[in-house]
Amino acid sequence: MSLNELAFKLNAHLTAEDTRFDAVLAESGVLEVICSNNEEFPINIVKTDTQLLAITPLFNVNEVKSDKVDELNEELLLISPAIPLSSIGRQGDSYILFGAMALDTLFENIVHELEVQAENTVDVLQVIEPLLL
């Protein structure tokens, strides 16, 4: 399924939990998805030759209290195993939440993963909020 087809299907879909999606394919080839269960943090989906990557930018390094960077990194390592279907990492100066799916992942599973990733974003930010500016 192309990212354009995925956007069309997401925009027409309502989950059992009443989550809606607003998906827009940018000229850069990145599919930006906003889930109604977390509208503040869009999920960016890119398609590679082997997988779909779902990436949610969380915050920039300069948004962390300068004396709390080591504590933040330790906390993120500790909570990462408890976050279903998502991992935490850094791209340049940005902390991200990400997940990967096979290209042949069923649409229903993509929807579930996006819904969970949106929820995980909220959970992670609640845990580390005291460490941010």
What's the pTM value of the predicted model, to 2 decimals?
0.95
Assign residue 104 the CATH number of its domain.
3.30.1460.10
| Structure confidence by residue, pLDDT tens digits, 33-67 | 999 999 999 999 999 999 999 999 999 999 999 99
**DSSP-H helix ranges across the chain:** 3-11, 69-79, 107-128
User: Alpha-carbon distance 90 to 38, whole Å?
Assistant: 21
Structural domain for 55, as ranges: 3-131
pLDDT digits (tens, 9 = 90+) for 78-111: 999 999 999 999 999 999 999 999 999 999 999 9
CA dist 82 and 88 (Å) reads 11
Please give the tally of structural domains in the chain. Answer: 1
